[in-house]
Chains A and B, each alone.
Chain A
Amino acid sequence: MSIKIALAGNPNCGKTTLFNALTGSNQFVGNWPGVTVEKKEGRLKGHKDVIIMDLPGIYSLSPYTLEEVVARNYLIGERPDAILNIVDGTNIERNLYLSTQLMELGIPVIMAINMMDIVAKNGDKIHIEKLSQKLGCEVVEISALKGTGIQQAAEKAIAVANKKKNAIPVHKFQAELESVLDSIEDKLGNDVPEEQKRFFAIKLLEKDEKIESQLKRVPDVSEEITLVEREMDDDTESIITNERYTYISSIIGECYTRSKRDKLTVSDKIDQIVTNRFLAIPIFAAVMFLVYYVSVTTVGTWATDWTNDNLFGDGFTFFGIDIPGIPVMIENLLVAIGCADWLQGLIVNGIVAGVGAVLGFVPQMLVLFVFLAFLESCGYMARVAFIMDRIFRKFGLSGKSFIPMLIGTGCGVPGIMASRTIENDRDRKMTIMTTTFIPCSAKLPIIALISGALFGGAAWVAPSAYFVGIAAIICSGIILKKTKIFSGDPAPFVMELPAYHMPTLENILRSMWERGWSFIKKAGTIILLATIVVWFASYFGWVDGQFRLLDTLELDHSVLAALGSSVSWLFAPLGWGNWKSAVAAITGLIAKENVVGTFGILYGFAEVAEDGTEIWGTLAGSMTAVAAYSFLVFNLLCAPCFAAMGAIKREMNNTRWFWYAVGYQTILAYVVALCVYQIGTLITTGTFGFFTFVAFALIIGFIGLLIRPMKEYKTTKSKSVAGAK
């Protein structure tokens, strides 16, 4: 029979390091059902029948954060055979607060005091026998980083699991409170097993609404609540929290001896410099520049360009030997075996190109993920949030949203993936939805095309694109945070600033690989499928009444062209209702730079320069300057390329939210482009039509959404509970 051991502890207590040390490479990473909280489980090294479940890092078992709800639903619902509670020895007081709650669940508990090497170095002492006696569970000293004591901790956990020796909480609250808890336990009767009664009694007293669904019958405890609240002059939730900390304060003196020292720790000294009033911003800018420079400007882009242009392109030279690119190799192979033309096309231009589109992003992403893992585990990421919070929270974003946006100027795909570092669910979703508004490097050719063809290369066009992007983020933040889907339990910004420490190489590489692999797996499918569909639509079509495979220059006969013609009327109010522009916008979904190439083909050039110089004249003849700018704005803001959409799907981990995001982006793009064209035309030519009226109505509505007051949505509270289950 297999044993399940749950790892529970505060964030930053070294839980991940311990999990990696215990399980090695036997890990399965996924998501908890329906939420974006990561779920990790693995098998204990040397024990095939012992499963270790890594719970999200939590401070409490309160019902207010997603992580806490996920962890407690697991602990109550799945009832693991034992809990291994990791406690940061350097921060024992607050860590024990969670321990007092874990002890009440009626599950065997082993407490592992981590970071003992640092505790010893500081000259502090933890009296584990005393601690064990005061909390009612066995205590072991470990150092997850050095690997000391972890085997004993795991074996002790297996032993208590086998003995089914449930933890019996030793800590007691004030006498009045205890008697009230006794009476609630009586009311629970036989509905709840004896060992879980205390947990449920406390939760009922705390008025924890989310616990009610776990009970067959909810006893009425309003009388007890009123009694306690009147006697102790506070709400029951606060009374219990107070009592726990009071108990910890009362025992901490006996269990923990702090060496006499008033000198600052190394971490304190680092923090004095890094978040110094004057130095914080320059240091922040330097760190961000380094991250950007390495992962976007240099190493990351070299790696991605090499993958795209050489490995999945023209090939490369390896020690003097010319090696063709993968598509060429496969094409040669297919020609050699005499494969049919259409199948060759499907394999080379559809499937291989699709796989290339997925893998091309991976090297750059891995470079970025190394930085993110380092910044997160050394403790600087928390300071990023600390420094930038003031600016970003106004738009419903987190201080940590800065990094996704910055990376997004290079490529939206790793930008979206970088949002993973934002713990708060709402801030993360908002960041995912808005990151791609920032013009990425693939949108630069479109900017160059429009600015060159219609505006004579005017210097204001490119900066204005960034301005539009930033304005879209700010306005979206303000509008969206007032909508119903982004309301719900408020998330306070009460954040621990963990001590700085040097992360291990193993943990960084592991985190890099986990994130990279999850992109390939989850985003890869959607990117590949979409690429194949668009390939099919652009290479098949009717020529002289016959449906057949087309040549590259016959794009105007393709299914895609037919589709473009049928939807082009939609874009007429935006000023570019001709089918060629519609088709270009559609192929832009594969990769934004395709827009330029597609225009090239549709105007009869097999190949054009990156900024499309060849077609500047033709394009200028086919649309007005205002229409061209509207086209530019639409393409900047609308649904991003398939790769970025795949990343959105992966990070939202929810189909509905994926469509919200893509739908919102496209609608916003449409509205802004329409207003640009209509108002622009009114100013330049003085034409006032029906759509000019619509544009003004939209602008008024938009301003209304911006300035409307924050509404209270009562219903979402219970809804978010259901969503978290």
Chain B
Amino acid sequence: MTLKEIPCGKTVKVTKLTGEGPIKRRIMDMGITKGVDIFVRKVAPFGDPVEVTVRGYELSLRKADAEMIVVE
């Protein structure tokens, strides 16, 4: 399952990051790494991007990028 499919209000654990290069590095730089908990907070009014809480702060990312984050 990827982060894209997780509904608002759920907390999930990251198991793997797919993809490579700048986008993957950026996502990881922002603290989304293997084993971290992500809380899906809300979706923007037009349905994209999503807002999540990770490592104690708020982060927004597009659904297309959320697809690279494999969670359980």
Q: How many residues of B contact A (CB 8 A)?
A: 33
B2 interface contact, C-beta 8 A: no
CA A277 – CA B45 in complex, angstroms? Answer: 5
B15 within 8 A of A: no
Is residue B22 within 8 Å, beta carbon to beta carbon, of the partner chain?
A: yes
Decide if A211 is an interface residue (CB 8 Å cutoff). no
A94-B55, A390-B46 as given contacts; A494 in contact with B27, CB under 8 Å: yes
CB neighbours of A277 from chain B (8 A): 42-43, 45
Say whether A62 faces chain B, with CB atoms less than 8 Å apart.
Answer: yes
Cβ of A91: which chain B residues have Cβ within 8 Å of it? 55-57
Assess whether A241 is interfacial by the CB under 8 Å rule.
yes
* Contact residues, B38-72 vs A (CB, 8 A): 42-49, 51, 55-62, 65
Q: How far is the CA of A357 from the CA of B34 in the complex (A)?
A: 57
Would A496 and B59 count as touching, CB distance under 8 A?
yes
Complex Cα spacing A495 to B17, Å: 18
Is B11 an interface residue when CB atoms closer than 8 A count as contact?
A: no
Is A280 in contact with B22, judged by CB distance below 8 angstroms?
no
* A688 proximal to B (CB < 8 A): no
> Inside 8 A of B22's CB, which chain A residues have their CB?
62, 64, 489-492
Chain A residues, Cβ within 8 Å of B20: 235
Contact across chains for A386 and B33 when beta carbons are under 8 A apart: no
Identify which of B23, B49, B57 contacts A496 (C-beta below 8 A): B57
**A64–B33 contact, CB under 8 A?**
no
- Docked Cα-Cα span, A219 to B18, in Å, equals 29
Does B31 make an interface contact (CB < 8 A)? yes
List the A side residues contacting B57 at CB < 8 Å.
91, 94, 496, 499
Taking a contact as CB atoms under 8 Å apart, the answer to whether A93 and B62 are in contact is no
Does A377 interact with chain B (Cβ within 8 Å)? no
B48 engages A390 (CB within 8 Å): yes
Residues of B within 8 A of A64 (CB): 22, 25-26
Asked if A271 lies at the interface with its beta carbon under 8 angstroms from chain B, I say yes
The answer to whether A59 touches B25, judged by C-beta atoms less than 8 angstroms apart, is no
Choose among B17, B28, B51 the residue with the greatest number of A CB atoms under 10 Å from its CB.
Answer: B28
B60 with A386: CB separation less than 8 A? yes
Say whether, besides A64-B26, A495-B59, A93 and B51 are in contact (CB < 8 Å): no
Given contacts A62-B26, A238-B17, A245-B33, contact A497 B44 (CB under 8 A): no
Q: Are A387 and B25 in contact (CB under 8 A)?
A: no
**What is the distance, in angstroms, from A173's C-beta to the closest C-beta of chain B?**
13
Which chain A residues in 53-70 approach chain B with CB under 8 Å?
A: 59-60, 62, 64
- Chain A residue at minimum C-beta to C-beta distance from B54: A94
> Which residues from A are CB-within-8-Å of B47?
390
In-complex Cβ contact of B29 among A62, A389, A490 (8 A): A62
Contact with B along A479-499 (1 / 0, CB 8 A): 000000000011111111111
Q: Contact between B25 and A241 (Cβ–Cβ < 8 Å)?
A: yes
Given contacts A64-B22, A277-B42, contact A495 B60 (CB under 8 A): yes
**Residue A570 at the chain B interface, CB threshold 8 Å:** no
Mark each residue of chain A from 73 to 115: 1 if its CB lies under 8 Å from any CB of chain B, else 0.
Answer: 0000000000000000001111001000000000000000000
A237 at the interface (CB under 8 A from B): yes
B44→A386 contact, CB < 8 A: yes
Q: Determine which of B45, B55, B61 lies in contact with A494 in the assembled complex, contact meaning CB atoms within 8 Å.
A: B61
Q: Does A534 touch B at the CB level, under 8 Å?
A: no
Residues B48 and A97 in contact, CB atoms below 8 Å apart: no
- Answer yes or no: A622 CB below 8 A from chain B CBs: no
Is A275 a contact partner of B42 (Cβ separation < 8 A)?
A: yes
Asked if B62 and A389 sit within 8 Å, CB to CB, the answer is yes
Residue among B29, B47, B51, B56 facing the most chain A CB atoms (10 A cut-off): B29
Q: Which of A62, A241, A271 contacts B33 (CB 8 A)?
A: A241
A721 to chain B, nearest CB (A): 13
Taking the nearest CB of chain B, how far is it from the CB of A208, in angstroms? 10
Min CB distance A9 to B, Å, is: 14
Question: CA of A144 to CA of B58 in the docked complex: distance in angstroms?
Answer: 22
Tell me the minimal C-beta distance from A66 to chain B in angstroms: 12
Q: Of the candidates A97, A497, A498, which one forms a contact with B31 in the assembled complex, judged by CB atoms under 8 Å apart?
A: A97
Chain A residues with CB under 8 A of B34: 242
Query: A245 to B24, Cβ gap below 8 A?
Result: no
From the candidates B31, B44, B45, B49, name the one contacting A93 in the complex (CB within 8 A): B31
What residue in chain A is nearest B28 (Cβ atoms)?
Answer: A241
- Write the A235-269 contact mask toward B (1 if CB under 8 angstroms, else 0): 10110011001100000000000000000000000
A294 within 8 A of B: no
Closest CB of chain B to A656's CB: distance in Å? Answer: 24
The reply on A299 being an interface residue by CB < 8 A is no
| Pairwise interchain contact A387-B28, C-beta atoms closer than 8 A | no
Residues B58 and A387 in contact, CB atoms below 8 Å apart: no
Closest CB-CB distance, A546 to chain B, in whole Å?
A: 66
Which residue of chain B has the shortest Cβ distance to A60 in the bound complex? B29
**A94 near B42: Cβ-Cβ < 8 Å:** no
- Cα distance A64–B24 in the bound complex, in angstroms: 11
Contact B58 A496 (CB under 8 A): yes
Contact check, B25 vs A497: say whether CB atoms are below 8 A apart: no
A59, A382, A495: residue with the most chain B Cβ atoms closer than 10 Å: A495
Contacts of A499 in B (CB 8 A): 57-58
Cα distance, A93 to B36, chains bound together (Å): 12
CB atoms of B44 and A94 under 8 A apart: no
Could you say which of A235, A281, A390, A494 contacts B65, with CB atoms under 8 Å apart?
A494
Q: Which B residues touch A59, using CB under 8 A?
A: 29-30
Question: Which residue of A is nearest B8, CB measured?
Answer: A277
Q: 7 A-B residue contacts at CB 8 Å? A: A64-B25, A238-B17, A389-B44, A489-B22, A493-B65, A495-B59, A496-B60
Q: Write the residues of chain B forming the contact surface with A, with a CB cutoff of 8 angstroms.
A: 17, 20, 22-31, 33-34, 36, 42-49, 51, 55-62, 65
A275-B51, A280-B44, A496-B58 known; 15 new pairs, CB 8 Å cut-off, are A59-B29, A64-B26, A94-B55, A245-B31, A271-B58, A386-B44, A386-B51, A492-B26, A492-B61, A494-B61, A494-B65, A495-B60, A496-B59, A497-B51, A499-B58
Question: 10 closest A-B pairs (Cβ-Cβ)?
Answer: A390-B46, A60-B29, A497-B58, A492-B23, A64-B22, A241-B28, A93-B55, A280-B45, A245-B33, A91-B57
